[in-house]
Amino acid sequence: MKLHLTREEFLALWRTHSGYTPSVCGDACVQRSDGMDLDSILMAEMEEWYRKLLLEADESLLAPEDIAADTAMPAPSGGSVTIRLPPGVLRVLCVRLSGWSRPAWIVTDPDSPTAVSQLHPYTRACADSPVAVLHTDGSLSLYPAASGDRLSALVCAIRRDGIYSFDRAATEGFARC
């Protein structure tokens, strides 16, 4: 089941899994004397866990979004096209153009041999084995691309301000943080 929680809802869930919720008997008291705000510490832990989840977790633990319809695609040039990813996209999980027979292999290192080979037309990928190269500036280059191709899928893990989206099964990892 996919969860979409506000900051307060996620903090309450984090407190519960961390053992900082009031006990049923009401006899537990948590105090700090060093001037630190417990919620601030828990929030920092929570943010770190969520960012790591979006960047590294299995796709089944995420709540990915298909943003193809909302993403502008310029006309292809030289057999490829480069699109700008919207702010908040931390990870691209699937990308596909209408002219491809399957989704692209996503390369996250723009200096890798696979990414560099896309720069030359004779070593570039084909529609049966397309490649998408994610650049550090937030752009995504798609190889090959022809005029008439449209973006049919762009599934991403997105970090939205104040909203935390993930699968309930990911909460099993709270105890391992």
CB neighbour list of residue 14: distance below 8 Å, 6 or more residues apart = 42, 45, 46, 174
Q: What are the residue ranges spanned by the domains of the chain?
A: 2-62+161-176, 65-158
- For 129-170, the pLDDT digits (tens) are 999 999 999 999 999 999 999 999 999 999 999 999 999 999
pLDDT value at residue 32: 59
Q: Specify whether the backbone of 98 is left (phi greater than 0), alpha (psi in -120 to 50) or beta.
A: alpha
The residue-averaged pLDDT of 15-34 equals 66
